[in-house]
Amino acid sequence: MRREALLELLRKLEAGKIAPEEAADRLASLPFEDLGFAKVDHHRSLRSGMPEVILASGKTPSQVAIIFAELAASGVNVLATRASQEHYNAVRETVPAAEFHNLARCITLLQSKPEDVTGHIAVVCAGTSDLPVAEEAAITAELFGAHVTRITDVGVAGMHRLLSYLDALRAADVIVVCAGMEGALPSVVGGLVAVPVIAVPTSVGYGAAFEGVTALLSMLNACSPNITVVNIDNGFGAGYVATLIARGPQH
Amino acid sequence: MRREALLELLRKLEAGKIAPEEAADRLASLPFEDLGFAKVDHHRSLRSGMPEVILASGKTPSQVAIIFAELAASGVNVLATRASQEHYNAVRETVPAAEFHNLARCITLLQSKPEDVTGHIAVVCAGTSDLPVAEEAAITAELFGAHVTRITDVGVAGMHRLLSYLDALRAADVIVVCAGMEGALPSVVGGLVAVPVIAVPTSVGYGAAFEGVTALLSMLNACSPNITVVNIDNGFGAGYVATLIARGPQH
Amino acid sequence: MRREALLELLRKLEAGKIAPEEAADRLASLPFEDLGFAKVDHHRSLRSGMPEVILASGKTPSQVAIIFAELAASGVNVLATRASQEHYNAVRETVPAAEFHNLARCITLLQSKPEDVTGHIAVVCAGTSDLPVAEEAAITAELFGAHVTRITDVGVAGMHRLLSYLDALRAADVIVVCAGMEGALPSVVGGLVAVPVIAVPTSVGYGAAFEGVTALLSMLNACSPNITVVNIDNGFGAGYVATLIARGPQH
Amino acid sequence: MRREALLELLRKLEAGKIAPEEAADRLASLPFEDLGFAKVDHHRSLRSGMPEVILASGKTPSQVAIIFAELAASGVNVLATRASQEHYNAVRETVPAAEFHNLARCITLLQSKPEDVTGHIAVVCAGTSDLPVAEEAAITAELFGAHVTRITDVGVAGMHRLLSYLDALRAADVIVVCAGMEGALPSVVGGLVAVPVIAVPTSVGYGAAFEGVTALLSMLNACSPNITVVNIDNGFGAGYVATLIARGPQH
Amino acid sequence: MRREALLELLRKLEAGKIAPEEAADRLASLPFEDLGFAKVDHHRSLRSGMPEVILASGKTPSQVAIIFAELAASGVNVLATRASQEHYNAVRETVPAAEFHNLARCITLLQSKPEDVTGHIAVVCAGTSDLPVAEEAAITAELFGAHVTRITDVGVAGMHRLLSYLDALRAADVIVVCAGMEGALPSVVGGLVAVPVIAVPTSVGYGAAFEGVTALLSMLNACSPNITVVNIDNGFGAGYVATLIARGPQH
Amino acid sequence: MRREALLELLRKLEAGKIAPEEAADRLASLPFEDLGFAKVDHHRSLRSGMPEVILASGKTPSQVAIIFAELAASGVNVLATRASQEHYNAVRETVPAAEFHNLARCITLLQSKPEDVTGHIAVVCAGTSDLPVAEEAAITAELFGAHVTRITDVGVAGMHRLLSYLDALRAADVIVVCAGMEGALPSVVGGLVAVPVIAVPTSVGYGAAFEGVTALLSMLNACSPNITVVNIDNGFGAGYVATLIARGPQH
Amino acid sequence: MRREALLELLRKLEAGKIAPEEAADRLASLPFEDLGFAKVDHHRSLRSGMPEVILASGKTPSQVAIIFAELAASGVNVLATRASQEHYNAVRETVPAAEFHNLARCITLLQSKPEDVTGHIAVVCAGTSDLPVAEEAAITAELFGAHVTRITDVGVAGMHRLLSYLDALRAADVIVVCAGMEGALPSVVGGLVAVPVIAVPTSVGYGAAFEGVTALLSMLNACSPNITVVNIDNGFGAGYVATLIARGPQH
Amino acid sequence: MRREALLELLRKLEAGKIAPEEAADRLASLPFEDLGFAKVDHHRSLRSGMPEVILASGKTPSQVAIIFAELAASGVNVLATRASQEHYNAVRETVPAAEFHNLARCITLLQSKPEDVTGHIAVVCAGTSDLPVAEEAAITAELFGAHVTRITDVGVAGMHRLLSYLDALRAADVIVVCAGMEGALPSVVGGLVAVPVIAVPTSVGYGAAFEGVTALLSMLNACSPNITVVNIDNGFGAGYVATLIARGPQH
């Protein structure tokens, strides 16, 4: 039953064919979607111009290509994360306008300019090995309409380098910090600014780095109170939430 | 907005004061509960005569007493799990008919005989230290209307004892097996019967028993395929699901 | 010593060649199998028409083919789980009637229609990546005689999709729910129905998903009391127990 | 060396007593604080009117009382978290205006109205046992100037209750969600709204809940992309970041 | 049905009242214990004079006292492990001959001299904090009839002390080594002798000793090949197995 | 300095060239090996005829071949464990008499018959996947002179199969039990016999089997007291210790 | 056999009563200690004037008092770590000159001035809760003769405070850094100096701090290469090694 | 702004073009690097002649080659760790003088003799599988100017071999000990010497060795107090810190 079915029920009531009590009973047993619930999501996506997102890893190139093409056909912007060159090769056959961001392992398709985001995002990373995760965050944020400043290679073992970017850090409305190994950078950055910091542990490191677990735990215990954390290597999630924050209250 | 509010909306439509389209739009934004969704739960509890359950641990005696009394007043059967003597002392002041099961740490109130359950449940435990968890399972199942056979102290280190209960095990329609330490009993029991076995790891043991984690992992890897597992020391959950299974298909 | 040997012993006793005390002593030292113990298993499999099951992973194609052919020759239905295309290639050379289920990674051979199962099973999964595990559960249940409804791609991040299947969920007598990542779906499904839910954590996810451990822990702590859990990716076990439950009490 | 010392150095240079090169060398060896670096923090706190925060646990009542009184004397608002009745008894002897929030285990002192925060915060919790953490978040946010709506007892096992609060959830600019056990609530809430959700795992639960670790892992793997996570039981951190987000971009 | 019941069945057969086939069928359905299976255990205990063992921890003083008295009445030697002074106070009221070993936390009752064990056992411990576990092993072995040499306080940080006991170590037929912290002692001892070494990790240590887990893991990875391991703090198990080994092959 | 050097020193003393006090001082600073310490090892190996052992994994084929050939040249028996076909190909070029045991992944060279071991060893395994580990144990024990009975495929889910081997189990003087998954077999076997049982967890299983960790933990918590444990997949260690035990006390 | 015994043996050789070969054989079987091996330790302690150390926790007050008094009687300096007030009360009854360091939980007795240590040690801690561990390190180092500078409350969330101590940090020859929670401070300090940094994780924190495990892991992955780590809360070990380093090469 | 910019500012002040107050304000807002902060690092590297270090793993051959060539051009010594043959092939094309150390997986370039280090370093390893890590430590230390003695294959299971190196161990001013499996060697070595020991856990082992975690935990709990620990397989870090220690206090 779709909206037509709902309308048909209501029209029967309007026409006096059923009583309000009976209508109420039947409404109680309807699938929720038919009551227009799902439209909310749709309205939201229309309002925000946010792209649809595909997690490419774990899907075959042809599966990604099919989903990508369907979304492209609907006119929205599209982002595929954790994509390989093979994924991209399959996608561009049907969607030639799609672009591949090699470092960030992302495929993007920009069909309409996203709604401009007020606030500014800084994406910071500790070392060059953290760059893929940082780039995933940056490209996500940009595709969702945000302005992004990239600050790279500012690990805590060389404080003077980080401090030389102090102005850039303080100019941001929200900061994404990617770090592996001991994951100490978010604590330090968080102490230098007064805005929300989203910490992204990366799987960079060896031995007791435990594929990012140490960085994750470290960030969850950050002594700066303005820090929240996402999953290991989840650059997309960090970029997405940063955009929501940079957009500011909508009510 | 309660059902009256829904009826008011539908009556406006019936009276021609609003159009079906407008009614559909307004329905889409209603809280779901107001649409009768919550009644389903109610119907279910009326149908099955299942008791209401309170997790006493983590609540003060007076908190438990207040909730217990409210539920008792509604006429249903009541079960409070992980209750202490202090909890019971507080409860019986306002609900004198409540009973305390010391070993199982449960408070029960039986106000109406539960719907009789077709199938039979066996509750098996490996050692005397597992008895509190096993009793919680047994009392839960009985309060929900099931017939329970208790088989105790049949650890895998003494197979002859377990095998002497073979008939009783094979007479059951579902078996709850509680075991701590290495948690091997469900595998063995599961191999002796052709019915579902619900394994309950207990926190019995020391050292590398890790408060029940070893038994939990062992049970999840049981080589008998008829085994499912619940949380450590969760006798209530096991007794509850066993009752659902013993009841058989309802459709 | 087989049954003949036992009979021979008893006949000696009957013939007065040995005394009852001597017979009792010799019985005490017999291998248990010879006393008819093993027959129970046999009776059970004849009664239920349940297929024999092979875990293919960890075995070579030729090993699987040999075991499969032996079982096929005995006339029973056969199920090989976690099988690769190579396994199947080897099997079909000797058992051409065997079928390969690519997504579920199962090889099946249906030689006799299984005993019909009364109750109905719903197999639900959160995302497309969980499909192989869900299919393993569904195919297992079907081969064991159950009727299965598949509900796919109803993750908790889109409640309206799940709720649109509410009728199908409530029509089931037991529900298998497969989910990776945060493993939250069983809790939500469990709260919507009044039947047993078997939760199957999958290894889908990355980072702190820890190859399914997070989903497993989440499901063990599900706040709905009608949930039990099986090992990570254990679709077979879930489908098997679901069938036992759907069959209902047998006594 | 304070600012005067710096000025003294610069005046020597102005007076020609030292050369620019020598001044540059001596500047390079100065403690950073003396160069005005520390003033930034001060400016920030004056600008935002944010209270000073004390972590009471791990400190004696008299230690907390001394620090609390010092901060109170400086005129700022003060918040002490994880405080016991004993902590409060000691504090109110010297700061009678301090208030104790028993459930949230917080001591607050409001000396000046905080700068009003534009956006709105909803603080949601799964069960009554999660209330202390949720209240810590709510009281923190309020003391920092935010408007907070509390939504309690909406666990995922009873979706209809959560869905009945849909309007309240969608009216918020940022949502704090506290949950223990399987920690599934943030995923579900995150799927219902288009704003940032801060997930707070609580140590509520037993057995495989592992003092909040299961909820923490679950939230880090939430399938809704608008979720970030803080440490177990860290209501303060969640309330603090929520306020920063609700304030919106400041540049 | 006990042995009498079995004899009754066999006598019926002997008397021609039932046929051998019927007797075979009825035998197949007998509880295993009735077939003399359990007697094996009994014979074994009579033969070896091994004491009965009670795990006192987790039982109340009166529970331990009752079980202890029952076993004492049957004439066997008795050992209660992990017993407190309260346990002992309760035991000696009914069994005045029971002795309490304060350091080892054991209660023993020697009613008949155990069968002499051929081989010799050395019980070695790394530090004074490991003594309770070592004593539990030593007292267990002695009560089971073994001769024990105690070597204490020979941690690996002072090799010269350990090496000064080389003759004593090489005179043993099996060695129990108790160590906490890094658990390195079994590796070193194992390299000095040519007999089985049973390693007992103790919960001695702090921080990353993880209540004995580090010592346990260390011992499992010991580079000497003559080492096997028991559970953390399981002095009883080590003493028991050491006695079995010291007894030598019995066939 | 070798023995000659020691003798030279002592001869100087005998010849009156140095005083006893000086000789004592110089002895204190000698390398220990020179004092004959190392000879003990040599004597031991000569006495027992035990083979030398090489851990092949982690070494290149040529490295293994060189070490193997050196040992072969010294006339002792040789065992290389965890060896691949490539390792063997390299070894047999220089030591054509070496044999490869494909299933056990062992290379052996028998140059002299080992001293006969009195006691008897049973090597038991739960499933066919555990066979490589069991074979490593069996071949090790045999090369060290022990008599071994192999009992395979007797998992706890089919107790009747295990019980049919009861006589064989009870004829052994020490039993090695290999099992993966839930690792329950040692507990059950341990309860059936009165001799030492060496439990070998194997990495067989998936999901929450955690590469053998679950079986390891399970075995450490075995409720039968006659069980000790070795590292995951350590068939060699189990076979070696079993041989030491089967040899019996040597003093 | 002590040195006299050795001399007796050598004198027999000198007197021609035994041959050099026989003497060599008997030397090979001597306990190592008798050969002067143990004297080395003695010489070392005499040379360095290092105090003897007692780990008080896990020992009774009277046990600590007895050991303390014995060591005091031998004239050396004494340090008891992890001592309670009760430990101290017992100690000062027999050793009135002993001092109690309440914050560091240490009892010290200084009977002779320790050999002066050349280098300088800085002991840094992140927060006031880390002070007990830092004090244990500082007092240990001082009792062993080192000069210590204490720098407290310089967490990474307030970089300006840490940087204001840059001169003090750079004046040290070795730095001990104590930090709990995310344990990021050693990385930052390590990047600011060119000397060895000893990182001490503390058990300060809650939730995912896991009693110091997070800080420990973080420090092991520190991106500054001049960092080594000791056990959680091991202030003594850090202070001891720092002193050895500050002493410089001795050869 | 570089030093010239700073000088320009100071010259303006000297010239009276700006007032000291204005100069102070502008200094407070300068990037820290421009204030000469970074020069400290530079001075340090010039003073010590320490090489620049590249972590090759995780970088492509061409990336490593580019960085290597840049550093080489600046005249310093260069060390690339965890380098493959492919990395080296790329490096030597542009820097033909670079050398590859196959076992240690290091590429080195020595352009100027490093400042001689006073103290002596011993690098000890337990088995041949630990050699790559030990060599990384040794080559690092040598490139930084230290004298290194290598002691290999001295595992704790053969104490006599280790003890035969006692003189060499006692001649060192700092010792690096590499060990996998149970990681017991540092404890033993630490007890034999009076200098700092740096323990390096290696990932050598299988099963419960957990890729070096067991060795790591073991070393953190070493009962010798002169031990500190670095990350698993971190030979570079150990060699680096050992050199700093061997250099002795610099003030």
Residues of chain A contacting H203 with CB distance shorter than 8 Å: 207
Mutate: best of B206, B214, B233, partner E, most E CBs <10 A: B206
Residue C143 CA to residue C50 CA, distance in Å, equals 8
Residues of chain B contacting F126 with CB distance shorter than 8 Å: 223
The string over G138-172, giving b where at least 16 C-beta atoms fall within 10 Å of a residue's C-beta and e elsewhere, is bbbbbbbbbbbbbbbebbbbbbbbbbbbbebbbeb
Inter-chain touch H156–E223, beta carbons under 8 Å = yes
Tell me if chain G has a CB within 8 Å of the CB of E1: no
How high is the pLDDT of residue F251?
73
Out of C160, C165, C209, closest to residue A38 by CB = C160
Specify the DSSP class assigned to residue F97. Answer: T
Give yes or no for a contact between G154 and G185, defined as CB atoms under 8 angstroms apart. Answer: yes
Mean pLDDT across F196-212: 95
Q: What is the pLDDT of residues B72-122, one digit of tens each?
A: 888 889 999 999 999 999 999 999 999 999 999 999 999 988 888 889 999
In this predicted structure, the answer to whether residue G29 has a pLDDT above a threshold of 80 is no
C vs A contact (3+ beta-carbon pairs below 8 A): yes
Specify the DSSP class assigned to residue C173. Answer: S
Tell me if chain B has a CB within 8 Å of the CB of C118: yes
G vs F contact (3+ beta-carbon pairs below 8 A): yes
Which amino acid is residue G136, in one-letter code?
A: E
In this predicted structure, the answer to whether residue G39 has a pLDDT above a threshold of 90 is no
How high is the pLDDT of residue F147?
95
How high is the pLDDT of residue H1?
40
Residues of chain C contacting D215 with CB distance shorter than 8 Å: 221
Give yes or no for a contact between H117 and H184, defined as CB atoms under 8 angstroms apart. Answer: no
Provide the pLDDT confidence category of residue H30 given band limits of 50, 70 and 90. Answer: low
Mean pLDDT across C158-166: 82
The residues facing A121 across adjacent strands are A148, A174
Mean pLDDT across A176-194: 93
How high is the pLDDT of residue D28?
59
> Which of A17-21, C203-207, D209-213, E233-237 has the least mean pLDDT?
A17-21
In this predicted structure, the answer to whether residue B1 has a pLDDT above a threshold of 80 is no
Residue B139 CA to residue B131 CA, distance in Å, equals 12
Residues of chain A contacting C161 with CB distance shorter than 8 Å: 33, 38
Distance spanning both ends of chain B, measured CA to CA: 33
Residues of chain C contacting D184 with CB distance shorter than 8 Å: 156, 182-184, 187-188, 218, 222-223
Between these two residues, H88 and F8, which has the higher pLDDT value?
A: H88
Residues of chain H contacting D22 with CB distance shorter than 8 Å: none
Residue A199 CA to residue A178 CA, distance in Å, equals 6
Residue G59 CA to residue E155 CA, distance in Å, equals 17
Helix (H, G, I), strand (E, B) or coil at H182: coil
Between these two residues, G209 and D10, which has the higher pLDDT value?
A: G209
Mean pLDDT across G16-28: 79
Residue A41 CA to residue D170 CA, distance in Å, equals 12
Closest-CA residue of chain A to D120: A249
User: Positive or negative CA dihedral for C150, C154, C156, C162?
Assistant: negative
Tell me if chain H has a CB within 8 Å of the CB of D6: yes
**Closest CA–CA distance from residue A56 to any residue of chain C (Å):** 11
Residue C195 CA to residue C121 CA, distance in Å, equals 10
Tell me if chain A has a CB within 8 Å of the CB of G187: yes
User: Positive or negative CA dihedral for A12, A17, A20, A26?
Assistant: negative
**Closest CA–CA distance from residue B251 to any residue of chain A (Å):** 18
Inter-chain touch E118–F249, beta carbons under 8 Å = yes
Residues of chain B contacting F218 with CB distance shorter than 8 Å: 182-184, 214, 217-218
How high is the pLDDT of residue F235?
97
- Token readout for D223 is 């399938």
Residues of chain F contacting E195 with CB distance shorter than 8 Å: 244, 250
In this predicted structure, the answer to whether residue E207 has a pLDDT above a threshold of 90 is yes
Helix (H, G, I), strand (E, B) or coil at G200: strand
Inter-chain touch D48–A248, beta carbons under 8 Å = no
The residues facing F116 across adjacent strands are none
Residue G83 CA to residue G98 CA, distance in Å, equals 12
Give yes or no for a contact between H178 and H123, defined as CB atoms under 8 angstroms apart. Answer: yes
How high is the pLDDT of residue H153?
80
Out of F31, F34, F232, closest to residue H207 by CB = F232
- Token readout for C251 is 């006594």
G187 closest CA partner among G162, G167, G205, G212:
G162
Q: What is the pLDDT of residues H187-218, one digit of tens each?
A: 999 999 989 999 999 999 999 999 999 999 99
Residue E165 CA to residue A32 CA, distance in Å, equals 79
In this predicted structure, the answer to whether residue E46 has a pLDDT above a threshold of 60 is no
Residue B52 CA to residue B140 CA, distance in Å, equals 11
H vs D contact (3+ beta-carbon pairs below 8 A): yes
Strands (DSSP E) found in D161-249? 174-179, 197-201, 227-229
Decide: residue B122, CB within 10 A, 0-12 exposed, 13-18 middle, 19+ buried: buried
Out of C14, C30, C37, closest to residue E14 by CB = C14
How high is the pLDDT of residue H41?
40
How high is the pLDDT of residue E32?
44
Closest-CA residue of chain A to C130: A58
How high is the pLDDT of residue C30?
53
Provide the pLDDT confidence category of residue D47 given band limits of 50, 70 and 90. Answer: very low
Size of interface E-G (CB pairs under 8 A): 44
3-class SS shares of chain H: helix, strand, coil, % to 5? 50, 15, 35
Residue matched to tokens 């910490």: A199
Give yes or no for a contact between E235 and E124, defined as CB atoms under 8 angstroms apart. Answer: no
Q: Which residues contact C17 (CB under 8 A, 6 or more apart)?
A: none
A vs F contact (3+ beta-carbon pairs below 8 A): no
- Quote the mean pLDDT of chain A: 86
In this predicted structure, the answer to whether residue D87 has a pLDDT above a threshold of 50 is yes
Size of interface B-F (CB pairs under 8 A): 122
Q: What is the pLDDT of residues A3-30, one digit of tens each?
A: 676 788 888 888 888 888 888 777 755 5
How high is the pLDDT of residue A46?
38
- Token readout for A66 is 């099919």
Subunits in contact with chain A (3 or more CB pairs closer than 8 Å) = B, C, D, G, H
Q: Which residues contact C98 (CB under 8 A, 6 or more apart)?
A: C68, C72, C78, C88, C91, C92, C107, C108, C109
Residues of chain C contacting A234 with CB distance shorter than 8 Å: 207
Give yes or no for a contact between C232 and C203, defined as CB atoms under 8 angstroms apart. Answer: yes
Interface confidence (ipTM) of the complex: 0.83
Tell me if chain H has a CB within 8 Å of the CB of D4: no
> Which of A130-144, F151-165, F234-248, H40-54 has the least mean pLDDT?
H40-54
Tell me if chain F has a CB within 8 Å of the CB of C217: no
Inter-chain touch A32–C206, beta carbons under 8 Å = no
Residues of chain C contacting B227 with CB distance shorter than 8 Å: 230, 237, 241
Residues of chain B contacting F158 with CB distance shorter than 8 Å: 191
> Which of A55-59, C53-57, G33-37 has the least mean pLDDT?
G33-37
> Which of C187-196, D217-226, F14-23, G23-32 has the least mean pLDDT?
G23-32
